Amino acid sequence: MKILVCISSVPDTTSKINFTADQSAFDKNGIQWVINPLDEFALTKAIKLQATGATVTVLNVGGPETEPVIRKALAIGANDAVRINTEPKDSYSAAKEIAEAARSGGYDLILCGKESIDYNGGAVPGMVAQLLDWPFVNATVGLEIDGSEAKAVREIEGGKETISVKLPAVIAGQKGLVDEKELIIPNMRGIMTARTKPLNVMEAASIEVKVEPVTFESVPTRAAVKMVAPDQLDELVRLLHEEAKVI
């Protein structure tokens, strides 16, 4: 079985987010980049499936600056990698490039996170499935493969749902697809081996953008904290009513 794992390169959650002077683009200066955490759950699940004879290819749509993140995925245990040499402008352009690569690669299963933590669009996995005309299961927290069938457990409002689909299929996972303690931290041997694993660069099939951002706006700065003495309950009530306007 051939598994394609789609990974995004996203800012570390501790990074300070800024925008350009004209607020038209994200400022990438000084940002530490990591594998999108939800994609990491999908990658770990794929690595576990290698025990059944599966091969794992990681794919990223991005420029050369994403290669350290791709190499980390190889160090975690992927067999090889593909980088589509273009910066994704929107969900559709990213999905179309992934679908083109998957169509020509002969993959049986596509795994990815249900969304990336930068823009939180959550649209790419479903678009990939639609473009390929493959079954799609979202918000997956459990996955078993039996021959040409996948049994996926997904979260729904108030419970969980088990779905069986025929391969090939697109499965979008989240926290719970594997336990957090199972996430793989690359060791020195994995890091050294990753340097010799194939990383193929493909040019974009077509650049078709449906959505263009107009402007970005930073989150408002939090107001200063006001301390109220324990015996000043009337003042506390006044502040909550007149300033915070929560009562």
User: Does the pLDDT of residue 66 top 80, yes or no?
Assistant: yes
Helix and strand element counts for the chain (H, E): 6, 11
Q: Looking at per-residue confidence, does 29 or 48 come out higher?
A: 48
Contacts of 81 (CB under 8 A, 6+ apart): 57, 58, 59, 60, 70, 71, 73, 74, 197, 198, 199, 200
pLDDT single digits (tens) 165-223: 999 999 999 999 999 999 999 999 999 999 999 999 999 987 778 888 888 888 788 77
Q: In the structure, what pLDDT confidence band is assigned to residue 24 with cuts at 50, 70 and 90?
A: confident
**How wide is the angle at C-alpha 197 spanned by C-alphas 80 and 170, nearest 5°?**
10
- pTM recorded for the entire structure: 0.86
C-alpha to C-alpha distances, 53 to 147, 162, 196, nearest whole angstrom: 12, 25, 21
Interatomic CA distance for residues 64 and 52, integer angstroms: 32
pLDDT value of position 14? 83
Tell me which residue has tokens 């770990």. 44
pLDDT value of position 78? 97
pLDDT value of position 161? 96
Label residue 151 exposed, middle or buried (CB < 10 Å: 0-12, 13-18, 19+): middle
For 52: left if phi > 0, alpha if psi spans -120 to 50, otherwise beta; the answer is alpha
Q: Looking at per-residue confidence, does 219 or 129 come out higher?
A: 129
pLDDT value of position 147? 92
pLDDT value of position 52? 93
pLDDT single digits (tens) 104-126: 899 999 999 999 988 888 999 99
pLDDT value of position 223? 76
| Percentage of residues in the chain having pLDDT higher than 70 | 100
Q: Which own/partner contact pairs does 147-155 have at CB distance under 8 Å and 24+ positions apart?
A: 150/109
Interatomic CA distance for residues 154 and 173, integer angstroms: 8
User: Does the pLDDT of residue 1 top 90, yes or no?
Assistant: yes
**CATH architecture label of 2-219:** 3-Layer(aba) Sandwich (3.40)
pLDDT value of position 195? 92
Rg of the chain in Å (alpha carbons): 21
Nearest to 173 by CA among 137, 123, 139, 125: 139
Q: Looking at per-residue confidence, does 123 or 225 come out higher?
A: 123
Question: In the predicted model, what is the mean pLDDT of residues 32-39?
Answer: 94
C-alpha to C-alpha distances, 46 to 39, 85, 89, 100, 115, nearest whole angstrom: 11, 24, 27, 21, 17
Q: Average model confidence (pLDDT) for the chain?
A: 92
